[in-house]
Structure 1
Amino acid sequence: MTRVSEVAGRQGPLESLLHERLLYPVFQPIVQLGNASIYAHEALIRGPQGTALHTPDALLRAAAQEHLSYEFEIACLEAAMQTWGQLRVAGRLFVNISAMALTQLFALRGREALLGLIAGFGVVPRMLVLEITEHERVEDMDHLAQVVSEVRSAGVALALDDFGDGRSSLRLWSQLKPELVKIDKYFTRNISEHGDKLKTIQALQQIAEIFGTQLVAEGIETPEDLRVLRDLGITYGQGYFLGHPDRKPLKYLGVDALRVLRERQVAVFPELTRSTPGGHLRSLSLVRAPTVGLDTSNDELASIFLDMPDLHAVALVNTERPVAIINRVQFMNEYTKLYYREVWGRKSCAVHANFEPRIIERDHSVDELVGILTSQDQRYLSDGFIATENGRYAGLGTGDQLVRSVTEVRIEAARHANPLTFLPGNIPISQHIERLLKKKARFVACYADLNHFKPFNDHYGYWRGDEMIRLVAKIAMEQCDPQWDFLGHVGGDDFILLFQSPDWQLRCERLVVEFAARAEAMFDEDARRQGGIQAEDRHGVSRFFPCTTLSIGAVVIDGSQFSRAEDVANLAASAKHDAKQSGGGVFERVTPVSTQV
């Protein structure tokens, strides 16, 4: 062990611990989530129990106060390897070391001395993983990369700790290319409830694939979070739910964790947001039209329009900033009038400008542009609009382009999240079915549809119809187990429910009964008394329609028998048709490959 020198003849509390070799490691398991096996253990250092220096935080503070950070880290490294060598446990050993301590260790001892140290404790180099912990910014990244290359050539693997906590940088990942990266517990804790954390993990998975790195999810403390991380395909996991730190390494995974990792049910991923993603218009095609200034004459502007017959307008700019737009048709109507050129030809064209143009930043969201389309000032339809990049002129667009682009982005957004109910749309529905099929899970695909909804919508108005659709969504959410059951909104009054709950039929029946009771209150008193309304059918013939109810078609799916989400959706739609033909309620369509859930 590194010799710790005495300062002014007096040892500090930590220095005494180091001198007496009182530090000891505890080991926390790192689990391979795919096969529920114990892959490795991380060594975590402790001081004597019952003392002020028992916890890692207290030890780190003491090391900083006594200026013994390097000596402390090396003592931790040696204590971990010595104990591990004595225990002779299978699997890899993860030990923490800062970039500063690693580079200093190599400078003082060199590669061969380090190998001798490892071998002296009975640890096989290829079973050792140095886990880089960063408490301060790495100053010389190139030198650290050279040291890491030396470490790797000795057979020792490298891991990057707490990625995402602000200290472990993407450049460090890119330059060192560690075999493993440990995701900071901020992103894994309660991931089952936060769609933004889930999307962050998915982004890290893409980066890991680029660099050929395996990910370790830290801080797993609940079965719900473990299920989501398991279904995301994270390779390794670590946390209290998988195993607490202990002086004796864990031989077998606990029953609760083992049950979660081996179950065939698929977790329902949390949604990113409860609002419709609007998207941006960066892909909008622009006209790279010339601009004019306040000093541009009418004659000069007329020449531009004559040279560019397809140009609908020009922007008037002042020091790169657009301030107005001049409509071609309106300008040319004035310019071609008798004696106009003789009187006004050399004067400024600004007299024809609209100084309240529609100016759209290329990164505008659709939600911001909807206000333009619905405003009382509709001149954008003829003038078009001016597009800017960071406030600078970028080009022109037409009113038709704006309307078409907003519509296209809205349609695409609705495929991801329905704008009325905020429930997942067609794309997330298909993705969840694909995940169920990939896991070969048994589940029930239900297609829910309203009976006699169109007459209600026509009779009371679309706003009341929207209210009824939201009521379906609300009651359906109440009847779904958020952990196992997926609810999606196909569009209109059509909903998809994917049940893994064994009591799915009871849930569906409650949904039908509860909706019938609460939907009846949306009819006026006369309609409730008569049991329905008089309205026109699809052929324009007036007839009586009962109060709106709900039909649910269900089909039991054996995931091992299907490969395409489309086939499952088609079966559910056929079951819905059967349910409506049978008079409503819940109808289970039996198929040759159906099995009990």
Structure 2
Amino acid sequence: MIIGSVQVREATQPQRDSHYRPTFSKDSPVVLPPRWLSIAQLLDMALQPVVNIHTGRCLGYEALVRGTDAAGFDDIAAFLDACAADGVLMEMEVLLADKAMRKLGGLPHTRDIKLFLNVDGRTLAHVVRFDKALHAVMQANGVGESSVILEISERHQIYATSEGRDAIAALRRMCGKIAVDDFGAGYSGLPLLYFAQPEYIKIDRFFIEDIGGDSRKKLFLSHMVNVAHLLGILVVAEGVETEKEYYICKDIGIDLVQGWLVQRPTLEPERLLPVYPQVQDLAAQDRRTAAGDQKLIAQWIEAIQPLVYGVDMTAVFDRFRQDKTSTFFPVVDEHHEPLGIIRELDLKDYTYSLYGKELMSNKAFGRKLRDFVWKCPVADINTKAETILEVFSAAKDESEGIIIVDDNKYVGFLSARSLLRVISEKNLALARDQNPLTKLPGNNLINEYLGRALAEAEAAYTIAYIDFDNFKPFNDKYGFRQGDRAITLFADIMRSDLPKQDVFIGHVGGDDFFAAFRNFEFADAETRVRAAIERFRLDVESFYDEEARHRGYIVAKNREGAVRQMPLLSASAAIVRIPAGHAPSSIDDISTLIAQLKKEAKQAPEKLASAQVGAA
């Protein structure tokens, strides 16, 4: 059968939903030809949860079309193309939205739940009719505007024309919140992010899959998250299937997750939950989270009472008059989720403009609160203080501070002054445990990190203990100042050559160093350690006099006091692999193993020795 220009197979044994009738009336602008209504009766809507990465609480469910194969289409894209070719795409999307709302309406926990609805870019050519029809369906199903998030499809370049950008603005007026789907794929890039100004971006599965072994994906993802948070946008990771992917997303700063790890799309709404225990458990097991940051941030949050979206502008002006010390107020929706801030400066600019005061007093033509909402950076209270500072620093010329949320709900505002106090207090605490020479974490922080690593059975770690060879003769001959230079040289090499993400480096003391790699392939971690000690061997030669470099040794006393030809400085590394699912171990057990490996490493040609602790 040919529908438009698309080849469609005959449906096999169609089982039509003969009881389904769309909720819109005969007077609705939505009219489907009988053939397409018959096809629609073969379709169903699956729902998949989108949950908070820190708490497992469900923000909402994405509606996904199912049954296109039974209707004779190769895939969903072919189905949508056929709808567009026959001029029924907008009508079909409204009908599918109706099906999704009906299914969601049967849940007992839908009060604060969002429904993510996908909108094909081609539908925006009929945005006025789409607006009218969708609102009719929402009203018939008792679904409020704040409960719907429209996802803009990535398949079509909708922002290229002024009409397309106007249509995106119309979408925002329809429901208040927009998500950019599959960000980073197709046309869902920075231009769409710029024009759509969404509340959410959903990162394409490409950047999530196998991210544990791909440092470039981590780099791309971390920058996308930082840009989004700078613009006040929450980030959803799509297609999260493994615990490893979950933990990396959490470390990078992702706000919400969606994927098989949480729950597969289901046609049975009774299987959907308000909170997902498996995500709660993963977050609870993640003992690497710096609880101290959360306490510091909570201590300095300003609990500014927000304005609720939709309040009359008279109440807004009254609020500023009553609180003359405030130059802005946060704005939240009816679910207490932040939308941005309203600034006194913007109100003054408009009010003092020509006819501004008259327009403001005219309820029919005057601007509303939504017209003055200014996007503001947002951060979860569980975010590391340094990450919050990084986001704020990029926006400091335009931002009053950062809105802090917990479980996607507004909890307060962190001003620039308060943020600097958080960082200052954290730095003071860190300074007490830093090595004074290299400024790297010292013994206490190393032991704390190692303790958390040993307790985190679901993650794999590679730890390296590195110390210098022939350091005492060098120090005796050239003096403590040159010895300190050699120590700081190796510290600088570790800082510059080892990755920042999922790597911890420390200075045990003297010429002993520590490095740990979380969820790295063992061979990758070992290669990086080998490269660091080789670079040190080459660079430290410049600290010797020309004659010693030429000979390849110095004449000095060894540890026993005997005069010997002592080789030039180098470093050895004892490397221990702690696999995921490892058996319980103590720090003392690891220390004993490292001491044994250190002796082997100093005798090995490559100056490396490695071992693995037992799996559970």
Q: Which has the larger radius of gyration?
A: 1
Return the TM-score normalized by structure 2: 0.46
Return the TM-score normalized by structure 1: 0.47
